[in-house]
Every structure is written in structure tokens, then in C-alpha cells.
């Protein structure tokens, strides 16, 4: 990912363009030229992108509609996509809010925003589907990568379930062609990932078939966006991808915890397409099935909220190194009395190291400040499930190519 630095001196140097190069002047009432003026369209592309990438989602959405040049810049230029993603995690972290497991709102947070829900972007309806049987109310999030969502329409045990890839900001979606249903299938589950090494988005499918006297083994299949419409068998995994919400994606590697072997964390590398296992923290007393697998600050994390007096968060500081697991203990006596009995699920890092958490089975977020050892309530309400999300204006058409059909939601998006 490209990284660019930008200072006041750089901006001063750029904007002090001489009259001969700019040829844009202010004029007084008598038509006399009084001073040179540089318009934003005169700026170098990298500077223009730097400025726009600092705006909020709604502001960028309006910029996209200014002209064709800006539309192409925001939806198909990798430079803007990379720089925009660098700004989002620190300046404007975002979350997806779900109601009864179905995605409903995109909320852009800001450290000094007292009412962040007012910044919400309504995502319903995301799709305009031809069949009334599969309505928006049945759309469940499988995962997100670089601003694209992978969504399940229906249930995985339903023969007619469907998988979509969507960019909700642009109102684009792509229907993934699924393999023909096999009557021997016992269960199916999915995950979504992006490989930086190959620059490809992939959907991972875990299939368990009915068998007699044979241990349950998951067959893994991969669909690569833009490559073709075929699923490729990439081998087997000791255990299937358990559940919709137990999968964590870090740097193109999907992680999940086993249901049968309670002492293993499994991983699938989207570039090498290989399955490996990771060792849990040494000294961990709570079984893995009692913990929550997550990602914080691009680190694999395990959250243990089984104790009455404290919460333990285990961080894998160096990926793949078992000795790098580090425990952070949060005492519950710092939590307000009215919410002290709740469980807390970490979602993301924000505001200089604060940990944004979801109250389990609650409709509110809390933020923990490790420096002050203090919890505060975040004024985001209305959802029973929250997921960290990085929006993107990158078009699906740029990713999958002209040979594949990209459809558009009607309405594409509603800003509120």
C-alpha cells in the first residue's frame, strides 16, 4: 500500500503557482488583474487526492458527482483507494450496524462527535432483486474486505441461497455463481478475503458432505472475482468454517476456531491457498470455544470475558509467533455499575488506542481508554451487532472486469 506525506509547506509550494503556468486571475470591477489564483483542478493529482481523502463519506460522495474526472479518480484510481484507506482507520473509523443479524446502517465515527448515529448512511434497500422470495430483510453479512461486502441471501442450508459481492457506497453488486447443489451436502459456510500479494478478492466455501463411518472433514473451494465463474477445489480442512460470525480476516488470511478440536485456531492463506493451524496463548485456562476471536489494530486477538472481575484480551503481536501472545487485563470495577454485568466484544481501535466494544446482546457501544482505565458510552443505538468496516469508492467493475455483470441497487444509496 502506498504511503504519502503531506505538509503545509508542500501545500504552500503547490498553491503559489505563477501567473504564466496557471493563467487564472482575480479581477476587480474594472477588469484589472490583481493576484494569481490556483483552482483545485490545477493541483497535482496526488495533492488533490490527499485533500479529498480527508473528507467524510457524505462529502466524498458529493465530490464523486462533480464531474467525470473526479468520478473516475474516486472510483477507479488505486492511489485514491490506498490513501483513503489510510485515513479511515484513524480519522473516521466506520462500523456496520446489524439488526437481527441483517445489515442496516453504516455509521462513520468521529472522536468529537456526540451523536455519531446522525452521521449514518442508510443501506436499505441495498439490492434490487427480481424475486420477492429473496428480499432485503434476509441479507446477512459474511465478511468485508477493502470496502466490499460479501452477503448471504437466504440460509446456507437452503438450496436456493445466494451470495453477493457489493460496494454499498456506490450501490453496486455482483451475484456469485454457486456450484450445483449436491444432495450429499450436510452443511456449507463461507468466508471472504483479499490477497495483497495477488491483488485478488476471493470467496472461500467450506463444504461438509454426509458420510458413514468417516470423520467429518471440510472440503474447501475458492471463487476468485474477475478470474472466471468456476469454483476451484483447494483441498481439505480439519474442521469447517464454524458459523457466520466466527471468522476473522487479517492481511488476506482467514481465521476460525474449531468446533471439534477445541485447542486449535485454523487459518487459510488466500494467496497460497493453504490451511494451517495456530497455537493459542500459553497459560490460557478458558477453552477457546468460550472466547471471541477478533482483530484489533491488525493483530489477531482473543477476548475472554468469562470472569466476573476482569476482561482479558490476548494479542498476537507478531503474526504466527506463539510466543508473541500478550495479555491485556481490563478490570471491571472501572465499568459503570449499570452495565458491569454485560459481556464486551472488542470491535476496533480508535482515538489513540481506545478500544471500541460492543455490549453483547445490547444495543449500545462502549469505549475503553487504557490510559485512564475508564469506560465511556458511545452514542450509537439501534443495532444488536456491530462490525468494523472500511468504506471504499472503488468500483466493482474495476475489480471484476467488463466480462462480468455488475448490477446496481435502486435506489443506489440514501444519505441521511
- Closest listed residue to residue 276, CA positions, set 246, 238, 314: 238
pLDDT score recorded for residue 33: 53
Q: Which residues of the chain have pLDDT under 70?
A: 1-38, 87-91, 100-101, 110-138, 212-216, 242-246, 259-263, 360-363, 381-384, 409-416
- HSE-up of 378 (CA within 13 Å, CB side)? 32
**pTM for this structure?**
0.78
pLDDT score recorded for residue 224: 93
CATH fold, domain 93-415, is: Neuraminidase (2.120.10)
DSSP calls for 300-335: EEEEE--SSSEEEEEEESSTT-GGGEEEEEEEGGGS
Tens digits of per-residue pLDDT, 394-410? 888 888 877 777 877 65
Domain boundaries, the chain: 42-92, 93-415
Q: Is 361 left (phi over 0), alpha (psi -120 to 50) or beta?
A: left
- Per-residue cell: 295: 482483530
Tens digits of per-residue pLDDT, 12-64? 333 333 333 333 334 544 555 555 666 777 778 888 888 888 887 778 877 87
* Angstrom distance (rounded) from CA 137 to CA 129: 12
Amino acid at each position: 500500500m502506498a504511503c504519502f506525506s503531506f505538509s503545509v509547506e508542500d501545500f504552500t509550494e503547490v498553491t503559489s503557482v505563477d501567473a504564466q503556468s496557471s493563467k487564472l486571475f482575480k479581477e476587480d470591477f474594472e477588469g484589472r488583474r490583481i493576484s494569481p489564483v490556483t483552482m483545485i483542478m490545477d493541483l497535482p493529482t496526488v495533492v488533490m487526492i490527499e485533500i479529498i481523502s480527508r473528507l467524510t463519506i457524505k462529502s466524498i460522495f458529493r465530490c464523486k458527482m462533480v464531474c467525470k474526472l473526479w468520478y473516475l479518480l474516486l472510483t477507479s484510481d488505486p492511489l485514491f483507494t490506498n490513501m483513503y484507506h489510510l485515513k479511515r482507520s484513524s480519522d473516521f473509523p466506520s462500523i456496520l450496524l446489524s439488526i437481527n443479524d441483517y445489515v442496516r446502517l453504516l455509521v462513520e465515527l468521529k472522536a468529537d462527535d456526540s451523536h455519531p448515529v446522525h452521521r449514518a448512511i442508510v443501506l436499505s434497500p441495498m439490492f434490487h432483486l427480481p424475486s420477492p422470495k429473496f428480499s432485503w430483510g434476509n441479507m446477512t453479512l459474511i465478511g468485508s474486505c477493502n470496502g466490499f461486502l460479501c452477503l448471504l441471501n437466504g440460509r446456507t442450508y437452503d438450496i436456493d441461497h445466494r451470495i453477493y459481492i457489493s460496494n454499498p457506497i456506490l450501490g453496486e453488486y455482483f451475484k456469485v455463481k454457486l456450484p450445483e447443489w449436491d444432495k450429499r451436502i450436510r452443511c456449507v459456510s463461507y468466508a471472504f478475503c483479499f490477497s495483497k500479494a495477488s491483488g485478488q478478492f476471493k470467496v472461500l466455501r467450506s463444504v461438509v458432505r454426509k458420510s458413514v463411518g468417516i470423520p467429518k472433514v471440510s472440503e474447501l473451494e475458492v471463487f476468485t472475482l474477475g478470474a472466471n465463474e468456476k469454483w476451484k477445489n483447494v483441498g481439505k480442512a480439519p474442521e469447517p468454517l464454524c458459523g457466520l460470525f466466527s471468522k476473522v480476516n487479517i492481511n488476506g488470511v482467514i481465521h476460525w476456531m474449531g468446533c471439534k478440536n477445541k485447542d486449535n485456531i485454523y487459518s487459510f492463506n488466500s494467496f497460497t491457498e493453504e490451511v494451517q493451524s495456530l497455537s493459542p496463548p500459553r497459560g490460557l485456562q478458558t477453552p477457546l470455544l468460550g472466547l471471541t476471536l477478533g482483530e484489533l489494530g491488525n493483530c489477531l486477538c482473543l477476548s475472554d470475558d468469562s470472569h466476573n472481575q476482569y476482561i482479558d484480551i490476548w494479542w498476537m503481536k507478531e503474526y504466527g509467533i506463539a510466543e508473541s501472545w500478550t495479555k491485556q487485563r481490563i478490570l471491571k470495577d472501572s465499568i459503570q455499575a449499570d452495565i458491569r454485568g454485560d459481556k464486551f466484544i472488542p470491535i476496533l481501535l480508535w482515538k489513540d488506542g481506545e478500544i471500541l466494544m460492543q455490549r453483547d446482546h445490547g444495543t449500545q457501544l462502549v469505549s475503553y481508554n487504557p490510559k485512564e482505565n475508564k469506560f465511556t458510552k458511545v452514542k450509537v443505538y439501534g443495532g444488536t451487532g456491530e462490525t468494523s468496516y472500511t468504506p471504499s469508492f472503488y468500483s466493482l467493475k474495476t475489480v471484476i472486469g467488463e466480462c462480468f455483470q455488475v448490477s446496481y441497487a435502486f435506489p443506489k444509496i440514501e444519505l441521511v
